[in-house]
Amino acid sequence: MKHNFGAGPCILPKEVFEEAAKAVLDFNGTGLSILEVSHRSKEFEEVVVETERLVRELLNVPEDYSILFLQGGATQQFAMVPMNLLPENGKAAYLDTGVWASKAAKEAKKVGQVEIVASSSDQNYSYIPKDLQIPSDAAYFHYTSNNTIYGTEIFEKPATAVPTVVDMSSDILSRKIDVSEFDLIYAGAQKNMGPAGVTLVIIKNELFGKSGRTFPSIFEYESHAKAGSMYNTPPVFSIYVSMLNLRWLKAKGGVDVIEQENIIKARTLYEEIDRNPFFKGTAAVEDRSRMNITFVMDSPELEAEFLALAKERNLVGIKGHRSVGGFRASVYNALTISSINALVDTMREFEENHK
């Protein structure tokens, strides 16, 4: 058995893979593959409707918000957000907590004025800046809730009265949130929602046309909302598998239940990192992510040796990003506690071998 700690595209439940595999051959008894079925067919329209309903139910999305299934990943949202929300004479406020937050701000600067309210780049993004001063005249405030590379996570929305936009690509559906606290949420699906290829956007309807800008309709949130995420051909297979995964999450008991599982998984691994003399965490303790757990060793030679042992024990995807080094265990919803225990056992085996 492989234990997949990859950062994304990531592990999904086995039963979701099995159901998706059936649909590749025959989608809902149509005699057609899900890969060839028309996105305008009644059968697929029902998939879109159910997927939206499940998102709304699992996250308790208010009725005055639209749920969109787009393409281009979070990277496209880096541009769509300012195009739709930033007036030509306005400014946007951004919090810089890592590579993706930095890239979001960089793209926004191509559209209009951006103010970086704080940055943790001075310590290689190992912490979350506190006591933010967010300008009250900003058109919106943007932050990234979970930083996959650096292993930090923001659990409480920073206090501000301006519209708030959050990139939740790597922790959406992993914990309870109050959607009404945010004006726009976006997330690439390939962590907790489904496979790569679809991007979830949850947007307050009053934001449509907020920037007053004129730009191609394909980049307008309102165009996609009016078309029911069918403005252009949607990522059919990715939406379908997302629906299956959301069904799985609902059957488990929803976000409340999965959050408790995620807390236990993260706590189990962090306790071993803190106990084991060969390993140490890289993120500030108070800002540690539940989704992406980053840790290192004192010696590069030992890191190579541990990676070799991990490979022998069928642990895959734990090599850290080059920006941090060491190791990164991505602990998304579908990863089981047995995989966490397998990693912990391997860490203890390594310790025992070097006594």
* Residues marked as catalytic: 100, 167, 191
Q: What is the C-alpha to C-alpha distance for residues 5 and 340, in angstroms, rounded to an integer?
A: 9
User: How many Cβ atoms sit within 10 Å of the Cβ of residue 261?
Assistant: 17
The β-bridge relationship of strands 152-153 and 146-147 is antiparallel
Q: What is the C-alpha to C-alpha distance for residues 291 and 270, in angstroms, rounded to an integer?
A: 12
The amino acid that residue 33 corresponds to is S
Residue 103 parent element (H or E)? helix 99-109
Q: What is the C-alpha to C-alpha distance for residues 95 and 120, in angstroms, rounded to an integer?
A: 9
Q: What is the C-alpha to C-alpha distance for residues 349 and 355, in angstroms, rounded to an integer?
A: 10
User: How many Cβ atoms sit within 10 Å of the Cβ of residue 66?
Assistant: 21
Locate 38 and state its tokens: 């028309």
Task: Decide: residue 272, CB within 10 A, 0-12 exposed, 13-18 middle, 19+ buried.
Answer: buried
Contact indicator for 281, 294 with CB cutoff of 8 Å: yes
Residue linked to tokens 């309870």: 176
Q: What is the C-alpha to C-alpha distance for residues 160 and 262, in angstroms, rounded to an integer?
A: 28
Q: What is the C-alpha to C-alpha distance for residues 137 and 178, in angstroms, rounded to an integer?
A: 24
